[in-house]
Structure 1
Amino acid sequence: MTTEPATQAAPRAEGTPPSSSAAPVPGPAESRARARPAIVTVDDDPSVSRAVARDLRRQYGERYRIVRADSGPQALEALREMKLRGDRVAVLLADFRMPAMNGIEFLEQAMDLYPAARRVLLTAYADTTAAIDAINVVDLDHYLLKPWDPPQEKLYPVVDALLEAWVGTDHDTAAETRVVGHRWSARSYEVRDFLARNQVPYRWYLSEEPEGARLLAAAEASPDALPVVITPDGVTLTDPTDAELAGRVGLSTTPTEDFYDVVVIGGGPAGLGSAVYAASEGLRTVLVERMATGGQAGQSSRIENYLGFPDGVSGAQLTDRARRQAVKFGAEVLTTRDAVALEVNGPARTVRFDDGQEISAHAVVLATGVSYRQLAAPGVSEFTGRGVFYGSALTEAPSCSGQDVYIVGGANSAGQAAMHFARHARRVTLVVRGPSLEASMSHYLIQQIAAVDAITVRTCTEVVGVEGDGHLERITLRNSASGETETVDTHWLFVFIGAAPRTSWLDGVLHRDERGFVLAGPDLIVDGLRPSGWALDRDPYHLETSVPGVFVAGDARAESVKRVASAVGEGAMAIALVHRYLEKR
C-alpha cells in the first residue's frame, strides 16, 4: 500500500514521496501537486487498484493527482484530510464489492465531504442491478463494468465527460475561505454555521493556535476582534454581518428585477419545491431566504423516510440538490434577506425587507417554516452559541469527540441529531419531557436509537438550569415525576423543543390561528362565510390565504403535516394554484 503525503494512515497521490514529520510545511513540489484536483479510486483488490490508477495516471496524471485506497474507510480518512487542507476532488471511483464498506456506502459518505465530485461505481455484470439502484441512493453519475479494457474506449470517454461536467461546476471557491475565531465565541459559531448551511466550504482556525495567530498577523487583525474571515480574494472581514459575508463568498443577495411572477419567501423544502416547479414552468421566480436554503430539514444529519431514498439522505444533500435544480430552471435565490412586511398594491403583492428594499410580484408563496422555541431555563441565553445550540449545529459534531452531549427534545429532529452525535460523542443523552418517545418520534428512529449503546433516553425530564464560566460547563436536570434534580457536567446542549412559525411580520395582514400559523383554504371559511376583506366571488383556493394571490405551504400553514415530503408536495401544489389564480384574475 502507498502513503499519502502528510499522513502515514491514508492513501497518497501516485508518484509523490512520503512526508517527513520534520517538515510539516509542504514544499514547493508538494504544494504544486496539491494544487491539482484529485481523482480518487478505491478497490480492495490490489491488482485492480494498481491497474485503475495506472490507466488514470497515463491519461490524466499531468492535470490531476491520482489517489488510490484499498478500502472505503481508508479512502474516507484520506478525503477528510484532503478536505481540511482545502484540496479539490473531481471524481470518485469505487468498486462495489468491498468488505466492511461497499462502494455505494463509501460514495454515500463521501458525498458529505465532496458533494460536487462526480461518482462512478466499478461493478461486475452480475451487480448491475445494485449499480442502477445506486443512481438514487448516491446520485450516481456512471457505472463501469469490469474489465474496462481497452481504456481508450471504455474508461477515458466516461472520465472525460465527468471531468468536463465537474470543471463547469462552482467548486473552486472553497479552498481559500478561512475563518479565525475563538472556540467559545457565539459569533464565531454563527459565521461557521452560516457558511456550512450555505454550502460554502471553509477552513476553521483557532485564534490561540499557531496557524490562526499567523493568519491574524498576516491580515493585521487584532486577536480581540473576532471572528476574522479571509475571503478567497484576500479581503479581510472583521466580525462581518451575514449580508457582508454572503456578498464576499459569492452568494446572491440582490434581485435582478423589480417585478416577478412569483416571490417565494423561505428556502426550506416547501419553498424549494415551489421554486423548482415555478421556474420549470416558465414563471419568473425569485426565492428569498433569511439565512440559508434548507430550513430545519437542511440541518438534519439523516432523513430516512423521504420517498426514493431507501438508505436515507442528509438534509444538506437533499436541499443542495433542490437549490441547484431550481437555479438550473432559472429561479433566482437570494440569501440574507429578511422579509418584514407584505403589502397589497392593486394586482401586485409587495414584499419589503429589513433594509428598506422591496420586490413585487403577481403572487407570493409563504414558506417561512418554523423556528425552535427557546429553552426557558435560567442562564440559557448567556450561553447560546457557547455550548447551547438550537438545532443540530452539525459544524460542532467533530468537536464533541469523546465528550458527553445532551439533546433536549423528543421529535424526529432530536432523534436524528442523537444518531449523528453518537458517532462522535462518548455518550448522548436525550432529555424528553414526556413519558416516552412514541407520541412524537417515528417508529424507525425509536428502534435505531434503542440499538445504539451510546444513547440514553431520560423521559419525564427537563433542563432547569445551565452554568459555566464563559461557556457551558454544567446543566441541571429535574425529573417531573419525582421532583428530584441532578447537576451533570457537559459542554454541549442541543435544543429541539417544538416549533413556532415565523409569521409575526404578517400580523394584521393575514388571518392566523392563536399560535401564529397561517390559515388557508377551507380553514378560512367559518359558518359558510368567507374571511373578512375577501373581495372575490369565489372561495379561497386550498393553500390560498386571506389575501388573494398569497399562498402558504409547509410548516407555517395551520394544521400542516410536519414532514419533508408533505412540505415539498405543498410547495408544488401552491404553484399549480398560482397558475389558476393568474388565469382567473
Structure 2
Amino acid sequence: MGAPAIVIATANHATELGEAFARYEREYDVRLVGDEIAAKATAKELIGSGHQVALFVVDSDQDQDALYHLIGGTRQAVPTARRLIVTHVSRFRDDNQTFRHAVAAGKVDALLLMPQGPRDEEFHLAVGELLNEWNATVAAPVVENVRIITPEKDTLARELLDYLARVGMPAGVHHPDSEVGRAVMEQCPEEHGRWPVVSSLAGWCGHCPDVRALANQLYGRPDDIDVDEVVDLVVVGAGPAGLAASVYASSEGLTTVCLEAEAIGGQAGTSSMIRNYLGFPRGISGMRLAQRARGQALRFGTRFFTGWPATGISPCEDGGHHVVHTDGGDVHTRSVLVSTGVDYRRLGVESLEELVGRGVYYGAAMAAARELAGDHVVIVGGGNSAGQAAIHAARFAQSVTIVVRRPDLTATMSSYLIDEIEWNPRIEVRGCTRVVAGGPDDVGHLAWLTVEDVGSGEQERVEARGLFLLLGAAPECGWLPDAVLRDERGFVLTGRDIPPERWAGDVPPEDLATTVPGIFAGGDIRSGSMKRVASATGEGASVVSSVHAFLGR
C-alpha cells in the first residue's frame, strides 16, 4: 500500500493550493484535479489500487450543486476521509453563510480561508489537526510503539489495543510466525506459548496477562513514591476533573499525585470527537484532549500512576494526613480529590455479557470499530458519548442503529450531535426500543440481536456484528470510607447538598468539599454534576483554591 492521498479539487486556484500542499508531498500522495468528475475518478482509482484517501480538499469556486454532489460522493466513497472546504478571501463571508450548516452537521470537517501566501501556519495547523485525527483513528501506524504477539486476536488482545488507543500509543498485533513476531520472540524466547507477548520500543518484552500489567509497565507503581513523603494532593481519577486539578494544583506549587485505574482521560478519553469544547473550533478527540492535559500536568510536576485503582482511604484522625490505598502501594497525602467519574451500567442480558470483547463492548471501543467495516453496528444509549460513538462507527460500518428507550434523542443529546446523526445516511435511530437478547456465530463472535418495542413488546431479530453499550452513569465509589456521605444513587454529596446536621457549625461546607475534611469530590462522581467535559474541567480547576484554603488551616 502506498502513501495515503490528499485529493484537491479546484477549478481556478490550482497554483495557490498546489504550492500550499507541496509541504505534504513527502509523506502523502497529493493529487490536484480540476473538477467534480476528475475528483471522483481519482478517488475511484486510488481506492481500486488499494490506496487510502486521508483528506479531500474542495475549493468553493465550483458550481454549488456540483460541489455538494462532490462532498456527498466523497462521503459515500471514502467515509473515513476528512473533508475540507477552502474559500478565496473574496468569497469567505458569503461562503461562511452558505456552508455553516454543512459544517455544523458534519457534512464537512472544516471551512478554511485559502492560504494568502507562504507559511500560513494557521491554515496548516487546521490541516495538520485533520490529518492527525485521521492517522489516529484510521491509518495503520507506521511506527508501532507497542507490539502485541499472539496466535489469535482474542478478547485480551483487543482490550490491550483499545487501552493503547486510549492513551495515544500506536500499536499493532502480529502472529508469532510473522516477520515481526519472530523478531520479538527472539528477544524473549522464554515467553513462547504464554500469549500475548508484548514488546515496547522502550526495551521491555514479556507476557502480558491483563491491561493492568501493561499499564504498570508504562507508568510504574504507586509504591515508587517514597513512603516517608507526604504529598499535598492525591487526585483519584484522571478524567477531565482530575486532569484539570492536576494541572492547576501542580502549577501552583502543590506536590500532586494522580492515580488512574484505567486510561488517562476516563470516559471522555473514549470520545472520537468532542466538537463543543471551548477553544477547539474543529473539535478534538477525547484521547488528544486527555494526553495534552496530562502533558501539561507533567510539565508542572504531577506524577501519574495508571492501572492502580484506589481501594480505600484511611482518613486522618488527629489533623495529620490521609492515606490512599492501592494494591500497588499507599500514598500519604494532606488532601484528596475524588474524581473517579462513573462507569457504564450493565445491560443485564446474560447471553450478551458472555460475548463482551467478542463483538459486545461497554464504551466506545474505538479500536474495535475499525474491524467492523461493512457490518451492521448497534449503539445502545442516548447521551453525547453514544452519539459520538455512532458517528465514529459510521465511518467504518455499513450501517449503525442507535437504540434508546425514549422516543428520540432530544432530551439527552446535544443538538449538534443530533443534527449530524440526522444527516448521516448510515445512521438510524430507533426510539422506544431496547435490546433483550443476542447470540454468536460459529466462532463465538456476536452475530445477531433481538430488539423489543418497549410499548408493544413486539420483538425483532436483527443481524449485528458489533454492539456498543453506553448506558449512563453508575458510580464506582464503594471504596470510599463510610464517613464520605453519598446520595441514594451512590454519588458523593458535597457543599450545600450535605444535610445540615453534618455541617461543622452553621455554615455549609465549601462547594466541592465532602463530609470528611480534606477530601473533595469533582466531576461526574459528584451528586448533582452536569455530566459534561467542560463542567468537570471547571470543577477540577476550582477545587484547587479549596485545597489551598484547607492546607492553610
User: Normalising by structure 2, what TM-score?
Assistant: 0.76
Equivalence map 1:153-164=2 (5 Å): none
CA distance in 2: counterparts of 1:127 and 1:221, whole angstroms: 66
Alignment of structure 1 residues 97-496 onto 2, 5 Å: 147-148=117-118, 175-181=144-150, 185-205=154-174, 207=175, 210=178, 214=182, 218=186, 220=189, 225-233=194-202, 235-248=204-217, 250-254=218-222, 255-257=224-226, 258-345=229-316, 346-355=319-328, 357-468=329-440, 469=442, 470-496=444-470
Q: Tell me, in whole angstroms, the C-alpha distance in 1 between the residues paired with 2:446 and 2:178.
A: 25
Farther-moved stretch of structure 1 (175-184 vs 404-413)? 175-184
Q: Is this contact kept in 2: 1:49–1:68, CA < 8 A?
A: no
Contact 2:235–2:337 at 8 Å: present in 1 too?
Answer: yes
Structure 1 pair 303–517 and aligned structure 2 pair: CA distance change class (3 A): same
Pairs within 5 Å for 1:489-528 = 489-526=463-500
In the superposition, relative to structure 1, how do residues 361 and 480 fare at CA in structure 2: closer, same or farther (>3 Å)? same
Does residue 557 in structure 1 map to residue 526 in structure 2? yes
Displacement of 1:539: 3.5
Are the equivalent residues in 2 in contact too, given 1:243–1:253 (CA < 8 A)? no
How far 1:437 sits from its partner (Å)? Answer: 1.6
Counterpart code for 1:260? V
Distance 1:50 1:492, change over 3 A: closer
C-alpha distance 221-467 of structure 1, shift in aligned 2 (>3 A): farther
Instruction: Report the counterpart of residue 23 of structure 1 in structure 2.
Output: none
Provide Cα deviations, 1:132-183, integer angstroms capped at 9, x if missing partner.
Answer: xxxxxxxxxxx997544xx9xx99xx99xx9xxxxxxxxx995342113466
Q: Measure the CA separation in 2 of the matches of 1:303 and 1:488.
A: 30
Whole-angstrom distance in 1 between the partners of 2:375 and 2:58: 35
What displacement does 1:240 show? 3.5
Q: 2:102 matched to which residue of 1?
A: none
Partner SS for 1:478? strand
Distance 1:10-1:437 versus aligned 2 partners, 3 A rule: closer
Where do residues 31-46 of structure 1 align in structure 2 (5 Å cutoff)?
none
In 2: Cα distance, 1:472 partner to 1:211 partner = 31
2:539 maps to 570
- Structure-2 separation of matches of 1:144 and 1:582: 53
- Please tell me the residue identity of whatever aligns with 2:169: V
- Larger RCO of the pair (alpha carbons < 8 Å, separation 6+): 2
Amino acid at match of 2:236: I
TM-superposed deviation, 1:41: 13
* CA positional deviation for 1:507: 4.5
Q: Report the AA paired with residue 325 of structure 2.
A: R
Deviations 1:408-465 (A, max 9, x none): 1111111111111111111101111122222222222222211111111111211111
Q: Is the 8 A contact 1:290 1:335 kept in 2?
A: yes
Deviation (angstroms), 1:503? 0.4
Deviation string, structure 1 residues 232-260 (Cα, Å, up to 9, x no partner)? 25543223333432344x43444544321
Q: 1:351 to 1:213 in 2, by over 3 A?
A: closer
How far apart are residue 215 of structure 1 and its match? 5.6
The structural deviation recorded for 1:485 is 1.5
1:289 Cα shift?
0.7
| Inter-partner Cα distance in structure 2 for 1:42 and 1:175 | 30
- Aligned 8 A contact 1:378 1:464 in 2: no
**Distance (whole Å) between structure 1 residues aligned to residue 518 and residue 192 of structure 2:** 51
In structure 2, distance between residues paired with 1:437 and 1:145: 39
Amino acid at match of 2:299: K
1:137 matched residue in structure 2: none
Indicate the larger mover: 443-452 or 231-240. 231-240
Q: Check conservation: 1:53, 1:68, Cα contact below 8 A.
A: no
Q: Which residue of 2 aligns with 1:26?
A: none
Q: How large is the Cα RMSD of the aligned pairs?
A: 4.3
Counterpart of 1:449 in 2: which secondary structure? helix
Runs of at least 5 residues in structure 2 that lack an aligned partner in the other structure: 34-38, 47-51, 69-79, 96-112, 129-140
Q: Distance in 2 between matches of 1:342 and 1:322?
A: 26
| CA offset digits 1:477-527 (Å, max 9, x no partner) | 11121212222222200001121112010142311112110011111133x
- Answer yes or no: is the 8 Å Cα contact 1:543–1:551 preserved in 2: yes
- 1:49–1:70 Cα contact (<8 Å) kept: no
8 Å CA contact retained: 1:251, 1:335: yes
Give SS of 1:456's match. Answer: strand
For 2:393, give the aligned amino acid. F
Give the Cα separation in 2 of the matches to 1:262 and 1:415.
35
Corresponding residue SS for 2:401: strand
* Cα deviations by residue, 1:57-77 (Å, 9 ceiling, x for unpaired): 9xxxxxx966562469999x9
Aligned length: 486
Separation in 2 of the partners of 1:256 and 1:463? 46
Q: Secondary structure at the match of 1:476?
A: strand
CA drift of 1:386 comes to 1.0
Is this contact kept in 2: 1:221–1:228, CA < 8 A?
A: no
Deviations, residues 241-293 of structure 1 (Å, cap 9, x unaligned): 33432344x43444544321111110000101111111111111111111111
**Superposition map of 1:17-96 within 5 A:** 69-70=30-31
Partner SS, residue 290 of structure 2: helix
- SS in structure 2 at match of 1:352: strand
Runs of 5+ unmatched residues, structure 1: 1-5, 12-39, 58-63, 79-83, 85-91, 102-111, 114-121, 131-142, 163-171
User: Hey, what's the Cα distance between the residues in 2 that align with 1:52 and 1:180?
Assistant: 41
Secondary structure of the 1:321 match is: helix
C-alpha distance 243-482 of structure 1, shift in aligned 2 (>3 A): closer
For 2:272 and 2:263, the matched residues in 1 are separated by 16
Partners of 2:350 and 2:172 in 1: how far apart?
34
| 1:237 maps to amino acid | G
Summarize the Cα distance change of 1:65–1:459 in structure 2 as closer, same or farther, 3 Å threshold: closer
**Partner SS state of residue 287, structure 2:** helix
CA distance in 2, matches of 1:213, 1:388: 28
Residues 339-392 of structure 1 show CA distances to partners (whole Å, capped at 9, x for unaligned) of 00111233211101023x111111111101000011101212211111110110
